[in-house]
């Protein structure tokens, strides 16, 4: 089949960039889900640093099995990583990804913030999401898939009505489109920077930077985990990336993952 302009341009781009974490870039016009393809490749021994990128997805997946709407104009990629880090530090990879996305958006003059654990928002509206999937064998990480979806050159009106009011895009915030490959280069460069910190065991630095870019701490929140819904004040993040919550009933909870809502936005 003839290569599309998108595939051609992105393959050419991958040959020009020299970013440590990028070992191989596999480019598709359309996939079900880049995370799904990346996972299959990882299970078939794809090398560390394999990146799957698609112009659009027809079965994009979000956290908690939700759909991730993935029309043309967005950025959809998944990294296959085999980091040699302690298993309990795996959640920090979602901080690495959130920091990479946030700082990339900042470079366009927009003020993006992170909502725990890793939603990236501009003006209180979601602009990017991150989906981490990992496989661990005998307490050793076999692979982690870091899926990143960004509403880049998307008209919010093209997303389904139920999420329009909580979503935004780079195009909407800036009032013009952004160059796809320029954005991708900055994103991968930033990812490489934060990923190196993780591999170099600079956990405190990642946590501090995450705290500087997040707007969750100090907020009254409602967190839905897979087993319960808790309400209270988010007072800190621990060294492994767990949210520390002081519930309204006075209990202290340590939460690995969940859906976080800010009570002042309910």
Distance between CA 76 and CA 199 in Å, rounded?
24
Least separation, in Å, of the C-beta of 202 and ligand BTN?
A: 25
- Take residue 17 and report the two structure tokens written for it: 């960039």
Nearer to ligand BTN (CB atom), residue 44 or residue 109? 44
Nearer to ligand BTN (CB atom), residue 83 or residue 149? 149
Given the rule CB under 6 A, which residues bind ligand BTN? Answer: 33-35, 57, 60-63, 66, 68, 76-78, 119, 129-131, 147-149
Question: Token match 């209990």: residue?
Answer: 251
CB of 49 closer than 8 Å to CB of 81: yes
Least separation, in Å, of the C-beta of 109 and ligand BTN?
A: 24
Nearer to ligand BTN (CB atom), residue 115 or residue 219? 115
Least separation, in Å, of the C-beta of 101 and ligand BTN?
A: 11
Distance between CA 38 and CA 220 in Å, rounded?
37
Nearer to ligand BTN (CB atom), residue 35 or residue 50? 35
Nearer to ligand BTN (CB atom), residue 148 or residue 184? 148
Of all residues in the shown chain, the one whose CB is closest to ligand BTN is 129
Contact residues for 131 (Cβ-Cβ < 8 A; gap 6+)? 35, 61, 62, 63, 68, 145, 146, 147, 149
**DSSP code at position 67:** B
Beta bridge partners of 232: 221, 247
User: Following DSSP, what letter does each residue of 154-207 receive, concatenated?
Assistant: --GGGS-HHHHTTB--HHHHHSS---HHHHHHHHHHHHHHHHHHHHTT-HHHHH
The reply to whether omega before 263 is within 30° of 0 (cis) is no
Least separation, in Å, of the C-beta of 178 and ligand BTN?
A: 17
Least separation, in Å, of the C-beta of 27 and ligand BTN?
A: 14
Alpha helices in 17-71 (DSSP H): 34-43
Nearer to ligand BTN (CB atom), residue 49 or residue 203? 49
Nearer to ligand BTN (CB atom), residue 71 or residue 86? 71
């Amino acid at each position: 089949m003839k290569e599309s302009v998108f595939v051609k341009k992105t393959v050419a781009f991958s040959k020009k960039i020299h970013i440590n974490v990028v070992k191989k870039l596999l480019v598709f016009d359309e996939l079900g889900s880049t995370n799904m393809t990346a996972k299959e490749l990882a299970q078939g021994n794809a090398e560390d640093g394999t990146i799957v990128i698609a112009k659009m997805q027809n079965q994009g997946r979000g956290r908690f099995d939700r759909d991730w709407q993935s029309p043309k104009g967005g950025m959809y990629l998944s990294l296959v990583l085999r980091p040699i880090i302690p298993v309990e530090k795996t959640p920090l990879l979602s901080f690495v990804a959130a920091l990479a996305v946030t700082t990339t958006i900042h470079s366009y003059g927009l003020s993006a913030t992170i909502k725990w654990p890793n939603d990236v928002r501009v003006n209180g509206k979601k602009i990017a999401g991150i989906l981490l999937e990992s496989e661990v064998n005998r307490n050793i990480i076999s692979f982690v898939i870091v899926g990143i979806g960004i509403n880049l050159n998307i008209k919010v009106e093209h997303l389904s009505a139920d999420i329009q009011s909580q979503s935004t895009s780079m195009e909407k915030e800036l009032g013009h489109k952004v160059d796809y490959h320029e954005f991708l280069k900055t994103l991968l460069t930033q990812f490489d920077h934060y990923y190196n910190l993780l591999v170099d065991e600079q956990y405190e630095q990642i946590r501090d930077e995450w705290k500087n870019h997040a707007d969750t701490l100090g907020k009254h929140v409602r967190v839905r985990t897979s087993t319960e819904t808790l309400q209270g004040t988010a007072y800190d993040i621990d060294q492994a990336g767990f949210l520390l919550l002081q519930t309204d009933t006075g209990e202290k909870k340590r939460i690995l993952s969940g859906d976080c809502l800010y009570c002042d936005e309910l």
